[in-house]
Chain A
């Protein structure tokens, strides 16, 4: 797993959705969707960020908790899309 992708995603989530939160409070397996950090609007913002940053294209059904619930899963999705 590319640690750089995880770090970039983590920084983005901390900046956009958890301002003021301690970085160590957000782990790779912290639940983002079921934990209430990513709601529908936040998910769309995150998807826009991922698509732009990694030049990938996500489909509607991929924007689900199954793929986006943790930083680990998001990074895995990004890597699979990048091929």
Chain B
């Protein structure tokens, strides 16, 4: 009876966990929720089954999980491939021949991975298949060679088809011997309870991760002083919480089925040396390396003295780690990263760990390991070491997560003025951490423990604390409760409930960086997950779409080009626009508007007659023409990637020759911070066709030697100045030609709209003399995510275009200029119109 109660108490905690991830914090994908549901149902059956049926049941559950997440086609494909690989390991032939066959099969699978067109399973299934077999086959073969006892087939297969693997492509490298050796190695309820506790701990890591990702991380181009540099380095490292959170949940879920696996991380933020860090951060990886690479290399070098043996073996381990991370990346993404930061990071860490290991080999690990009693002075010394290590690892981590070595070097190029700002805060934070660390170590030495941490595990205490904490999260996470905490706290809690991209990642997404995102294998990137959802060939072939110009505009749409992008056949018209055909000469009795803009205006992903400009044009002719007696044209002159000054240039060069009556100059809230047009021109030594802007860029010290992030950082302070100049130029040049300049504000579909930026831009537009078409509230009352093409592409979908078209039409009617007096002033001389104040 007591046993049943204990099992049900674990199940109750799992139920609370499920409620939290369903109703409060959507910490992972919907597939994760499905797997947790399956795991809980499976746990309740499994725990009451006779022991001999449990392993086969776990295997059945794991296979069902694959089918549940991936469907029958991919699921059976993955199971079939997996069974074939395991089968090869057991062929009745020499061991070396089996290894050779597995390698050949691996090469064949690698070919299919790299050639999606020939793959029997979808792109989404490969990372999971890779996670199941890429490392575990190595460990399995190593142990198989030395295996002495017979092992049931269900255990062998369960090792590969682990239930949580169905939703986690980044998976701890579970050791086969440990997997087999720890199966029900102690009281089952203690194992189950440890599982529930670890799943809860993983949940807290994931929520903390989200808090840091949303509110603390900074894009590299915002690092201007010591304070922001410190914030960047620390938050960047702490993003690892996502992986430690996932690993806790994975291992916790396996505990529910009797696999009493060891912890995957051990307070890695408290590492006191590089060797200690290596032992704590990803214990399963370290054990894998030690078992398969380090010990075999060390034992093989028996003829050498201990020091060179250790150095060679360590170098071998870090070389293997680097190569295997690239190998892992290949199975996840289908291509190998060749990144300088990767080599530099693993090389530097290898040297530091080797030096540390040598010291430990000769002198031991020191007497302050563990929780032994110590004096305050000793505690201070240890806290200093831990703090020093934390800072050193933050710096190394920033190297690893940089896209290129030059990007990492540019992090340290702070602003000339104000570079010391924030130094005081950084020093205070370090001092507080040092004091807290010293006191904590001193207290631990005297037997003090925090909550459910520590090695002495108690079922009752763990169950009590975990249940209470989950109930607390459920209660606090309810809107009716957290809304009493004040608007800021309530906003923060609300935002933590759903996944979204951070400000920095949104910027990268908008810039299309994710297509080649090398930083995505740094195990923390939300952007990488977004990228993974993008269908193959979504973007289309840029060579088919664009003509390279080699000047300031860089590229333009290729006239009469036809291609497929974002699921639609696209035809560029003879004037080089993503629009229907228009005559170069403006027909009589026609008011011609030209819209200049970005990819939002181009409207890939919707049909050519479904873009907001096409819909607005149709409505103007349907509703406006009977009133005014003129026809209306809106020519779509949007080009993906055209920044603000690009649009000015395109207006002069391409729009003016088409004799427009009005220019719709589309702007976004991202414009002032998005001066890539100017920075790219300066960095590529392409002349900027506006001497005033060229001078501003020169004064900002941006030239061909300036790294991209530094260039952006240096131009950012003059973003509004450049915006204002551009607006005035647009208006002046339009007015000179008797063209009406419209400032068309179209917000992007990001969740957080910067109202202050919008106000400032609208003010500048008014000062410049624009007619205002402000669509700032166009998405109000709608979930902007429902107006996007997809998670991986935030451009407007068909519904979004319809919404914008209606709002644009209403704004034009409200403005009245276009519909006034039988149309517009057309090509009337500038003096014929009253200048705008």
Given known pairs A41-B275, A66-B177, the reply for A60 and B299 (CB within 8 Å) is yes
Judging by beta carbons under 8 Å apart, are A39 and B279 in contact? yes
Q: Which of B145, B146, B295, B367 contacts A20 (CB 8 A)?
A: B367
Q: From residue 24 to 48 of chain A, which have CB atoms closer than 8 A to chain B?
A: 34, 36, 39-45, 48
Measured CA separation A18–B145 after assembly (Å): 34
Q: Which residue of A is nearest B361, CB measured?
A: A41
Q: Is the CB of A64 within 8 A of B291?
A: yes
How distant is the Cα of A59 from the Cα of B298 in the complex, in angstroms?
Answer: 10
What residues of A have a CB within 8 angstroms of the CB of B177 in the complex?
64-66
A76 to chain B, nearest CB (A): 14
Contact B295 A66 (CB under 8 A): no
B436-458 interface (Cβ within 8 A of A): none
Contact with B along A39-71 (1 / 0, CB 8 A): 111111100100000000011110111100000
**Please, how many angstroms separate the alpha-carbon atoms of A21 and B371 in the complex?**
12
Interfacial chain B residues near A20, Cβ < 8 Å? 367, 372
Any A CB within 8 A of the CB of B37 = no
B290 at interface (Cβ–Cβ under 8 A)?
Answer: yes
Report B199 CB to chain A, min CB distance, Å: 21
Give the chain A neighbours of B286 by CB distance below 8 A. Answer: 40
Instruction: Verify if A16 is at the interface (C-beta below 8 Å from B).
Output: yes
Tell me which of A39, A40, A59 has the highest count of chain B C-beta atoms within 10 A of its own C-beta: A40
A83 interfacial contact with B, CB 8 Å: no
Residues of B within 8 A of A17 (CB): 364-365
A19 within 8 Å of B (CB atoms) = yes
Q: When the two chains form the complex, which single residue of A19, A21, A40, A66 contacts B181, counting CB atoms closer than 8 Å? A: A66
List the A residue with the shortest CB-CB distance to B286. A40
Interface of A is mostly: helix
Q: Is B298 touching A44 in the complex (CB atoms < 8 A)?
A: yes
B165 at the interface (CB under 8 A from A): no
A43 CA to B294 CA in the complex, in Å?
12
A41 to B299, CA, bound (A): 13
Residue contact B296 to A60, C-beta cutoff 8 Å: yes
Bound Cα distance from A16 to B365, whole angstroms: 9
Which residues of chain B have C-beta atoms less than 8 A from A43's C-beta? 295
The answer for the CA separation of A16 and B367 in the assembled complex, in Å, is 11
Shortest CB-to-CB span from A8 to chain B, Å, is 19
**Cβ-defined contact, B146 with A45, below 8 A:** no
Complex interface bits, B334-377 against A, C-beta within 8 A gives 1, otherwise 0: 00000000000000000000000100110011010110100000
Residues in B with CB closer than 8 Å to A66 are: 177, 181
Interface centre among A20, A44, A66 (most CB of B within 10 A): A44
- Give A60 to B298 CA distance when docked, in angstroms: 8
- Chain B residues 268 to 322 lying within 8 A of chain A, measured CB to CB, are 275, 279, 286, 290-291, 294-296, 298-300, 306, 310
A41–B357 touching, CB < 8 Å? yes
Which of A34, A60, A65 gathers the greatest number of chain B CB atoms within 10 Å?
A60
Q: Are A48 and B306 CB-contacts (below 8 A) given A20-B367, A40-B290? A: yes
Q: Which residues in B have their C-beta under 8 angstroms from that of A60?
A: 295-296, 298-300
**Can you name the residue of chain B whose Cβ is closest to the Cβ of A58?**
B299
Which A residue sits closest to B306, measured CB to CB? A48
Closest to B182 in A: A34
**Residue B178 at the chain A interface, CB threshold 8 Å:** yes
Q: Which of B279, B286, B290, B369 has the most CB of A within 10 A?
A: B290
Say yes or no: B279 contacts A19, CB within 8 Å: no
B364 engages A16 (CB within 8 Å):
yes
**Contact residues in A for B30 (Cβ distance below 8 Å):** none
In the complex, A42→B361 CA distance in Å? 8
Contact-size category for B: 20 to 34
Contact of A65 among B178, B294, B298, B361 (CB under 8 A): B178
Tell me if B629 counts as interface (CB < 8 A to partner A): no
**What is the interface of chain B mostly: helix, strand, loop, or mixed?**
helix
B117: Cβ under 8 A from any A Cβ: no
| A65 contacts across to B, CB distance below 8 A | 177-178, 181
A68 to B824, CA, bound (A): 90
- State the CA gap A61–B290 with chains docked (Å): 10
Inter-chain contacts of A63 with B (CB < 8 A)? 295, 299
Give the residue among A36, A42, A65 with the most B Cβ atoms within 10 A: A65
B262 on the A face (CB < 8 A): yes
Alpha-carbon distance between A36 and B310 when the two chains are bound, in angstroms: 20
Q: Is the CB of B370 within 8 A of A61?
A: no
- Given A34-B262, A64-B177, check contact A19 B367 (CB 8 Å): yes
Taking CB atoms, residues of chain B closer than 8 Å to A61 are 142, 145-146, 295
**Closest residue of B by beta carbon distance from A19:** B367
> What is the chain A residue whose CB lies nearest that of B300?
A60
Please indicate the chain A residues that have their CB under 8 angstroms from the CB of B142 in the complex: 61
Q: Are A59 and B299 in contact (CB under 8 A)?
A: yes
From B262, B361, B369, A45 is in contact (CB under 8 Å) with B361
A51 to B279, CA, bound (A): 25
A15 shortest CB reach to chain B, Å: 10
- Could you tell me the distance in whole angstroms from the C-beta of B716 to the nearest C-beta in chain A? 47
Residues of A contacting B146 with CB < 8 Å?
61
A residues in contact with B299, CB < 8 Å: 58-60, 63
Q: Mark B173-214, 1 if CB is under 8 A from A, else 0.
A: 000011001000000000000000000000000000000000
- State A75–B272 Cα separation when bound (angstroms): 32
Give complex CA distance A65, B360 in Å.
20
B375 to chain A, nearest CB (A): 13
CA distance A17 to B361 in the complex (A): 11
Closest to A34 in B: B262
B6: min CB distance to chain A, Å: 24
Q: Which residues of A have CB within 8 Å of B145?
A: 61
Residues in B neighbouring A59, C-beta threshold 8 A:
299
Closest residue of chain A to B181 (Cβ to Cβ) is A66
* Bound form: Cα–Cα A64–B365 in Å: 20
- Report chain B residues within 8 Å CB of A39: 275, 279, 365
CA distance A20 to B369 in the complex (A): 12
Which residue of chain B has the shortest Cβ distance to A16 in the bound complex?
B364
Complexed CA–CA distance, A36 and B298 (Å): 21
A34 to B361, CA, bound (A): 20
Closest Cβ neighbor of A40 among chain B residues: B290
Find chain B residues with CB under 8 A from A40 CB.
Answer: 286, 290, 294-295
A21 surroundings in chain B (CB, below 8 A): 372
Question: Bound complex: CA of A80 vs CA of B427, how far in Å?
Answer: 58
Residue among B295, B306, B357, B372 with most chain A CB within 10 A: B295
Known contacts A60-B299, A61-B146; A19 and B364 CB within 8 A of each other: yes
Least CB separation from B357: chain A residue: A41
Cα–Cα distance between A81 and B636 once the two chains are bound (Å): 82
Bound complex: CA A21 to CA B145 (Å): 39
Complex contacts, B365 vs chain A, CB 8 Å: 17, 39, 41-42
The residue on A at minimum CB distance from B366 is A19
Q: When chains A and B are docked, how far (Å) is the Cα of A36 from the Cα of B290?
A: 15
B residues 354-404 touching A (CB-CB < 8 Å) = 357, 360-361, 364-365, 367, 369-370, 372
Q: How far is the CA of A39 from the CA of B585 in the complex (A)?
A: 81
Task: Give the complex CA separation of A41 and B369 in angstroms.
Answer: 15
A-B contact pairs, 7 of them (CB 8 A): A20-B367, A41-B357, A41-B360, A42-B365, A61-B146, A63-B295, A66-B177
**Besides A59-B299, A66-B181, 16 other A-B contacts (C-beta < 8 A):** A16-B364, A17-B364, A20-B372, A21-B372, A36-B369, A39-B365, A40-B294, A40-B295, A41-B360, A44-B298, A44-B361, A48-B306, A60-B300, A61-B142, A61-B145, A61-B295
The 6 closest A-B pairs by CB, nearest first: A60-B295, A60-B299, A60-B296, A40-B290, A61-B146, A41-B360
Interface residues of B (CB under 8 A from A): 142, 145-146, 177-178, 181, 262, 275, 279, 286, 290-291, 294-296, 298-300, 306, 310, 357, 360-361, 364-365, 367, 369-370, 372
